[in-house]
Amino acid sequence: MRKPSPVGFKWQDKAVQKIQSWNTEKQRDKKHCGFFAVNMASTGCGKTFANAKVMRALSKDQKSLRFILALGLRSLTLQTGREYRERVGLDESELAVQIGSRAVMELDQRNVQTDKPDESAYEISGSESQETLLSGHIDYDCAIPEEGLATVLTQTRDKAFLYSPVLACTIDHIMGATETKRGGRYILPTLRLMSSDLVIDEIDDFTCDDLIAIGRLIHLAGMLGRKVMISSATIPPYMAEGYFNSYREGWNLYCQTRDAEHTIGCAWIDEFTTKVSNIASHELKTAIPEYRQQHANFIDKRVEQLNKQPARRKASLVECHDIIEKHQTQRQQDATVIESKQDAYFKAVFEQAWQLHKNHYLKDEQSNLNVSFGVVRVANISPCVALTRYLLEQDYPDNIQVRVMAYHSQQVMLLRSEQEKHLDDVLKRKEKSGDAPKAFSNDIIRAHLKSIRSTHPEAKNVLFILVATPVEEVGRDHDFDWAVVEPSSYRSIIQLAGRVKRHREGEVEQPNIGVMQYNLKGLRHSSDPDQVVFHRPGFESGKVLLKTKRLDQLLDVEKVQQRLDAVPRIQQPEHIHATIINNAKNTNKAKTASSLSDLEHMMNWHWLANYKDNGAGKLGGWLTQHWFLTALPQALTPFRGDDSTLKIYLVFDGRHQHLTFCEKDDEGHPVNRESVLNIQHASLSDVARSRLWLTRDFKESCEQLAQEIDTTPYIASLRYGEVRFNFDEKKHYLYSDQLGLVVKP
């Protein structure tokens, strides 16, 4: 890590030099100060590696490394663990990787062709003989001292969690330090945080109550005298400011019991520059305005640099006026009208996909076909599956062929793993300009093109379409030629845009992203301005409503046609702070946002930077009142509080012939629950099956995996057949290997 960064990543060394100078100066003056950093380097610039370099630079001797890297997703945690092993050079005795599922880790290892997991892992029962203070599986291997803390560290994974120099984990495992309401599950995360600095990567992937809960964790890190860094390319100003204030309040408590300065070293880092400044932490009324101004100055310079770069993504608006006009005289909630509106919406989606394909295809020289890979982002699982079925069943002109795949969270673990491996292989897209995509060499893609050429000689164009929910927005290193977006928030638009032309340089001449004028909820309630439609996912709530449901009035259409980027999210308009203050004074008046980006700024202020709101469920109440002595904050604003999912397994019966959905009893044995859960197995027509991008078969996959790990298909299905969903006893569900588990229409 002391080696110079390669060409193109020299900004990492410049950041390290600035922070080393600050750290050396403080050590020379024997001043013990806090440290809070924001890393906003762009995607693909090497933030993860830079974070490790910075944390080393902050250590006392600048030779040691001990920190926690917390992430929101298992996939990101596993990817980061691999990067730290391969690029940073940390071996199994120096790095622990903690996620909540050993099965997920094993499938990830299988996909990257690492060593075969230990066969002792494949057992029927998931129960342990001893209760551990830490849930989930940990990937770590070293000689761990046994003396001390023997009553707490009862298992190897507990010891690895505490002792490993670097811990990469899903943030859930460290959140127990502040979120535990009873029992001893706070002990290990707190002990770890007492001796480790904290990096939270992709911090803006969280929303609502999760943001408040993370503020409690950052406050504890400051109270324990640790250093904190938050990292993401799209951190909004009020998020950075609110978390700085959480750290500041914690650091002030630390100073009351230690010989430490009421000073916090604040760093702002990106690929263009690094700025380090000292801010006196004692007074809120002076510290916050100073931090706000310095952050704004940093963002202004960042935006200036970003605007000099070629525009790789441009967006056009897909109008839906004709859909509304056609049904405006009919009852809005009539099931037939809703279905008709949805089909018309899906038709508009495909027409936009076809237009984008014509502007951004690549020619396959072997088949002489025009090929593109695109993604359609929809907000929820039910319309994701409905749109997939629509695209699979439609009649297309003779010159068009489509291959479609649904991608969402309610898919069986093993099949989702196979799907993600295929997508990762096909969508790397790191070829140089003018080179044929490596995707054309993929066996499955090659077979599709060869088959189309022979069975449909009149076809000239092939669209590979991934229909995805927000699972595609974060944690996937995919590069598409184009995208169509059903909007939920400005954040969702730019996150999905980050998967278009992700690894390929150069400006685009034509828009490569289409944004629908309405989302499906907005289309249904287009005449009702008080209806919340940019929600779950989205930032709209009963506290702040958007003035309209039309994207052409919530988005600067002319600007995104020239460049679609994160600037409206990271740079706060001048009017926002005054608007928020005026709204705060008029407590009885409904608050209204005039754009998607304004809505996000207002909600981030409400969650993190409303310093006068000191209720039990508010961050201010935790920081400045005595609510931390109760369990009310965790109950009112819990972390992952809406995660009420049911976990079931698709399991072979005793004869290994049929598959049924089961729950596990206390001993880990399957109990058939298909009829109780109202689940039916669905099938696709021959036409639909012929248009599948990736055909999967859970039975065949289990049999193949069972051979690989020397077990039975029954045991493999019991371990890797997991699927989670929000069960509603009033609803019925359909399942297929191709479409996953979805509510029956």
Q: What is the DSSP string of 637-690?
A: S-TTTT---EEEEEEE-TTSS-EEEEEE-TTS-EEE-TTTTTEEE----HHHHH
pLDDT of residue 133: 55
Domain spans of the chain, in order of start: 43-120+132-262, 317-564, 646-743
State both tokens at 328. 């405006």
Within 8 A by CB and 6+ apart from 284, the residues are 245, 248, 611
Task: Look at residue 146 and tell me whether its pLDDT is greater than 60.
Answer: no
Handedness of CA 719, 722, 727, 731 (dihedral sign): negative
pLDDT of residue 654: 67
Please write the tens of the pLDDT for every residue from 242-253: 999 999 999 999
* Nearest residue to 266 via CA among 22, 567, 59: 22
Each as own residue / partner, the long-range contacts of residues 613-617 (CB below 8 Å, 24 or more positions apart, any chain) are 617/212
Asked whether the domain spanning 317-564 has the same topology as the one spanning 43-120+132-262, the reply is yes
Mean pLDDT, residues 621-647: 89
Mean pLDDT, residues 283-295: 95
In angstroms, the Cα distances linking 277 to 180, 266, 287, 342 are 35, 5, 12, 53
Please write the tens of the pLDDT for every residue from 533-563: 999 899 998 788 899 999 999 999 999 999 9
Please write the tens of the pLDDT for every residue from 17-65: 999 999 988 887 788 899 999 999 998 788 888 999 999 999 877 667 8
* Nearest residue to 422 via CA among 701, 683, 85: 701
pLDDT band at 128; cut points 50, 70, 90: very low
Within 8 A by CB and 6+ apart from 336, the residues are none
State both tokens at 289. 């305005």
Each as own residue / partner, the long-range contacts of residues 601-605 (CB below 8 Å, 24 or more positions apart, any chain) are 601/236, 601/237, 601/238, 601/572, 601/573, 601/576, 602/544, 602/576, 603/207, 603/539, 603/541, 603/543, 603/544, 604/211, 604/236, 604/237, 604/238, 604/239, 604/242, 605/238, 605/242, 605/580
- 8 A C-beta contact, residue 650 and residue 661: yes
Q: What are phi and psi of 250, to 5 degrees?
A: -65, -45
Task: Look at residue 119 and tell me whether its pLDDT is greater than 50.
Answer: no
The class of domain 43-120+132-262 in CATH terms is alpha beta
State pTM to two decimals. Answer: 0.92
Please write the tens of the pLDDT for every residue from 401-430: 999 999 999 999 999 999 999 999 999 888
pLDDT band at 117; cut points 50, 70, 90: very low
Task: Look at residue 199 and tell me whether its pLDDT is greater than 80.
Answer: yes
Angle between helices 596-604 and 574-585 in degrees, nearest 10: 60
- Strand, coil or helix: what is 183? coil
pLDDT of residue 513: 98
Q: What is the CA radius of gyration of the chain?
A: 26
Please write the tens of the pLDDT for every residue from 153-197: 777 788 888 888 999 999 999 999 999 998 888 999 999 999 999
Quote the distance between the C-alpha of residue 526 and its chain's center: 29
Task: Look at residue 201 and tell me whether its pLDDT is greater than 60.
Answer: yes
Please write the tens of the pLDDT for every residue from 345-373: 999 999 999 999 999 999 999 999 999 99
Q: What's the rounded Cα separation, in Å, for the pair 211 and 48?
A: 21
pLDDT of residue 21: 92
Q: Which residue has the tokens 């009035």?
A: 553
Query: Would you give the DSSP letter of residue 41?
Result: P
Strand-strand pairing, 659-664 and 646-652? antiparallel
Lowest average pLDDT, out of 126-140, 192-206, 312-326, goes to 126-140
Please write the tens of the pLDDT for every residue from 216-242: 999 999 999 999 999 999 999 999 999
Within 8 A by CB and 6+ apart from 608, the residues are 211, 212, 215, 238, 239, 241, 242, 243, 245, 246, 619
- Mean pLDDT of all residues belonging to the chain: 89
Lowest average pLDDT, out of 320-334, 438-452, 525-539, 567-581, goes to 320-334
Preceding amide of 713 cis, omega within 30: no
The class of domain 317-564 in CATH terms is alpha beta
Q: What are phi and psi of 92, to 5 degrees?
A: -65, -20
Mean pLDDT, residues 272-277: 96
Please write the tens of the pLDDT for every residue from 668-710: 899 999 999 999 999 999 999 999 999 999 999 999 999 999 9
Question: How far is the first Cα of the chain from the last one, in angstroms, to the nearest whole number?
Answer: 54
pLDDT of residue 300: 97
Q: What's the rounded Cα separation, in Å, for the pair 518 and 499?
A: 21
pLDDT band at 340; cut points 50, 70, 90: confident
CB burial class (10 A; 0-12, 13-18, 19+) of residue 174?
buried
pLDDT of residue 218: 98
Percent above pLDDT 70 for the chain = 91
Mean pLDDT, residues 476-481: 92
Task: Look at residue 334 and tell me whether its pLDDT is greater than 70.
Answer: no
Mean pLDDT, residues 108-122: 53
Task: Look at residue 152 and tell me whether its pLDDT is greater than 80.
Answer: no
pLDDT of residue 108: 87
pLDDT of residue 121: 29
pLDDT of residue 122: 26
Edge-to-edge strand order for the sheet containing 659-664? Answer: 670-672, 659-664, 646-652, 722-725
- 8 A C-beta contact, residue 56 and residue 65: yes
Lowest average pLDDT, out of 71-75, 91-95, 429-433, 586-590, goes to 586-590
pLDDT of residue 721: 96
pLDDT band at 6; cut points 50, 70, 90: confident
Quote the distance between the C-alpha of residue 707 and its chain's center: 33
Within 8 A by CB and 6+ apart from 309, the residues are none
Within 8 A by CB and 6+ apart from 448, the residues are 403, 462, 464, 693
